[in-house]
Structure 1
Amino acid sequence: MTEFPSIPAMFELSGRTVVVVGSASGLGQASALGIADAGARVVCADLDEEGAQQTVDLITERGGTAEATAVDVTSTESVAAVVAAHAEADALVMTPGLNVRKRLLTTTDEEFDRVIDINLKGTYRLMRGFGTRMAERGRGSIVTFASFRALVVEPGQGLYAAAKAGVVQLTKTLASELGPSGVRVNSILPGPFETPLTEQIKSDEEWWNAYANKAALARWGQLPEIAGPVLFLVSDASSFVTGHSLLVDGGWMAQDGRFTPRV
C-alpha cells in the first residue's frame, strides 16, 4: 500500500521559492501572504516595486521570508531578467490584470492591444520563461489567473473576457506540453472580489449589489479567500491536478441567479 502523507505536510511549502507576479495589491498580495504563511520564500514581483516592498514588509511582520523585485509583464526583456534572477523558483503565480469596461464597438485598437498585452501576452511571457526552467528541472507548479469572465460575459467586458479566455487555453496547452516533464499548470478563475480592478463597480451601488446578489453566497469575495485555492494549486496537495480551471466565485456559475421562484 502506498504510504499516505500527512495532510498538513502536503500543504507545507518550507524550503521552496515561489514567485508571485502582481503582488503589490489585491489578489496578488493576498496570494503572496498565504504562500509565505505556508513557509515559502516569496519573490514579490510587480511593476509597482514600492507596493511589492510593502507586501514584503507585511510578510516579514508575519514571520515570513520575502524579497521585492520590479517586473513589467509587457516587456520580454524585463520578464527574462526576473526569470534569470529566480531560475530556481519552484512555483509561479501570476495575477496582473487590466480591464477596459466599454462596449465593444466603442473600443480602440490601442485599448485592445493594452488589454491583450497585459492579461494574455504578459501571462504568456511569464509561462514561457519560468516554464522552460521548470521543465529542465523536472518539477514545478504554475498558477495563472483568468476570470469567470472567461466563461460568461456582460456588456462592456468583451476585451477582458477574450483575454482571460485565452489565458485558460494557454494554461491547458502548457499543462499538456509540460505534463511529461513533471510540471503542473492550472488556472484560477476568480468571481467578484473587491480589488483595485473592481473600484468602478464599487462606486455604483446598484451595480455592486447586483453582483453580490448574483452569487450563491450573496456577497463579494474577500481577499484572504483567494489564498486557500492558490495554496492548494501551488502545493503538493494538488500533485495530480493539472490543466484545471478552478472557479473561486462564491457560486456565481452554479446558479442562474436572475429570479428566485416561490417553491
Structure 2
Amino acid sequence: MTGLISLFLGFGFLLLGFMGEGGHASALVSWTPLVIVFGGTIGSLGTSFTPKQLKNIGRILKVAFTRKSADLVEVIAYLNHVLDKVKKEGFLSIEAEVDEEEKMDPFMKKALLSAIDGVHPEELRNMLEIEASMSFKRHKVGAAIFDSAGGTAPTMGIVGTVLGLIHVLGGLASADMNALGGSISAAFLATLYGLGSANLIFLPIGTRLKNLGKNEQLEKEIIMEGITLIQQEVSSTIFIETLKGFLDKKDQAKLEERYLEHVELEG
C-alpha cells in the first residue's frame, strides 16, 4: 500500500509543480503520444519476453504493491519455539499446530511438514534450496520486465516527439502560427510520458521487486538453516547465535531481547 501511495504522491507533486508555474492539467493530456509511448513499450516487451512470462504481470504487480517483507526476528522466534517443543515432545508434537496455521508461510509449512515426515536433513535442504532458487528466479524475471519497460519508455518518448516534430515541420509553410506552439507542445508530451512513466512507474517497481526478492530469499535461507538446526536438536543458545548472523545490528538486538524474555518465561 505504501508503494501505491508513493506512486500517487510522485505524480501529484509533478502536477502541482506544473500548475504552480501557471500550467493547466488539460495541457498534459493527449492520446496520440500515449499510444506511441505505451504501445511501443508493450511491443518491445512482447519481443523481449515470452507470453508465459508476460501473462503474469497482474500477479507481479499484486506482489509489488501488497506483499510485505517478513519480520525476520519473528521468524527466528517462531523457529526457536518449534525447537523447544521438538526437543521436549518430538516432531509429531508440532504436526497439529502446523496443519491448523492457515497464515503460515507456505515455504515454512512445507519445510516443517517434511521434517515431521522424517525427511533426511540433507535431502530436505536440497529440496528447499531448489524451491528457494526457483522463487528467486521468478522475482528476477518480474523485475527484468519492468526494468526493460523503464529503459524502453523514454526512447519511445523521444521517438514520439520526433514523429510529432516531423509532422509540425512538414506543414510549417502553411501552418497557422497561433496553433504552431500548441502542436510543438503536444509533440513534447511523448517525451514527458516516456520519462515520467519510466522513472515513476517502471523502474521503481522493478527495484521494489528486486528488494522483495532479496528479502524473501533471506527469509528462506533462515528457514532452511533453522530447520536443519531443529533436526539436529541443538541448544537454543546455539540456535539463536547461528541465525542471528543473518540479521542486521538492529534486528540482532531485538532478537537478543526476545530470547532473554523467552528464557525468563521458561525459567
TM-score normalised by length of structure 1: 0.27
More RCO (CA 8 Å, sep 6+): 2
Q: Which has the larger radius of gyration?
A: 2
Q: Larger helix proportion, structure 1 or 2?
A: 2
Q: Larger strand proportion, structure 1 or 2?
A: 1
TM-score normalised by length of structure 2: 0.27
